[in-house]
Amino acid sequence: MLHPITTNHYLVLSVILLAIGVTGMLIRRNIVVMMMSLELILNAVNVNLIAFSKNLQDLSGQVFAIFVIVVAVAEAAIGLGILIAMFRNKETVQVDEIDLLKW
Amino acid sequence: MLDTMFFYMFALLAVAGAILTITMRNAVNCAIALIASLAGVAGLYLLQRAEFLFAVQLVLYIGGIMVLFLFVIMLVNLDSAAKERQFHRHWITGAVAAILAGAVSLWLLSRGTPTLKAGAPQTLPAANGNIEQLADLLFREYLVPFELASVLLLLAIVGSVLMAKKRTN
């Protein structure tokens, strides 16, 4: 029953994590939780990169995963900064209440 | 066999944490669930012999980004938000679309799997460990992106300070 783990297992797990992240991005109203879903999506990408890095015995995949993490950090810092500025002006974190530009 | 067991354990942790992250009502609980999910993914990195990324995941993601998130949750008052409706009006459409996209990805994956090369047999790790090899690659082949990443981080620091600063005039 306990068969060895192949690259395919990691790819399937990555798809599942990605789908959960996209679902969270689409259904939640709270922008903080939406940004957490974004982190989930980036993590799913990293799982994929590491799986192929192992499969091909090539460390470039891990280097790319490092760059993905760097971009995730930058995105989180900027995004949370924007969020604080927005909360100060609008007093809400629900994305469907921020509809100033919506006709 | 132990590898298989650990894989399912960490995978379960990652997926359960992810599901709890997008369904919990209180944002702090969401953050805690996300930490569990990230820890599960970190365990998977360790199983794949990516020790450096394991450390980065623990120190940077769980220790850095998640603390940032928790700080923002503290600064932004989310108590009223927790009492309100959590999902969009059209949340069913969104969920169906995302699950369909996942199903299509899985279907494509199942079609592509037979052509996926089994990969080189798992050789013993080279004489110098994962971190040395990674550093070699990072500072030789990927030096320019590495330096660009530092510029990006500098921009992120300045930008987030500018964004979060109070306007005084």
Tens of pLDDT, residues B39-96:
999 999 999 888 899 999 999 999 989 999 999 888 887 777 777 787 888 888 989 9
**A20 in Cβ contact with B34 (< 8 Å):** no
Domain A29-97, CATH class in plain words: mainly alpha
Q: How far is A38 from chain B (nearest CA, A)?
A: 11
**A68 in Cβ contact with A40 (< 8 Å):** no
Question: Alpha-carbon distance B29 to B81, whole Å?
Answer: 14
Tokens of B125: 């790790």
Could you give the number of structural domains in chain B?
Answer: 2
Q: Work out how many CB contacts closer than 8 A connect A with B.
A: 239
Same domain, B16 and B76: yes
Q: Which residue has the tokens 């923002």?
A: B72
Instruction: State the average pLDDT over residues A75-96.
Output: 87
Q: How far is A103 from chain B (nearest CA, A)?
A: 18
Q: Which residue has the higher pLDDT, A91 or A40?
A: A40
Domain residue limits at B162? 129-169
| B72 contacts A84? CB cut-off 8 A | yes
**B80 in Cβ contact with B26 (< 8 Å):** no
Q: Which residue has the higher pLDDT, A95 or B11?
A: B11
Q: Which residue has the higher pLDDT, B117 or B74?
A: B74
pLDDT band at B123 (very low <50, low <70, confident <90, very high): low
Nearest to A9 by CA among B22, B14, B50: B14
pLDDT band at A6 (very low <50, low <70, confident <90, very high): confident
| B119 contacts A51? CB cut-off 8 A | no
- In this complex, the residue of B19, B64, B130 whose CB is nearest that of residue A73 is B64
Is residue B51 included in any domain, yes or no?
yes
Tokens of B109: 């994956």
What pTM does this model have? 0.89
Same domain, B2 and B68: yes
pLDDT given at position A88: 86
Same domain, B14 and B77: yes
| A59 contacts B134? CB cut-off 8 A | yes
Same domain, B71 and B135: no
Task: Give the DSSP H/E element, type plus range, for residue B28.
Answer: helix B27-47
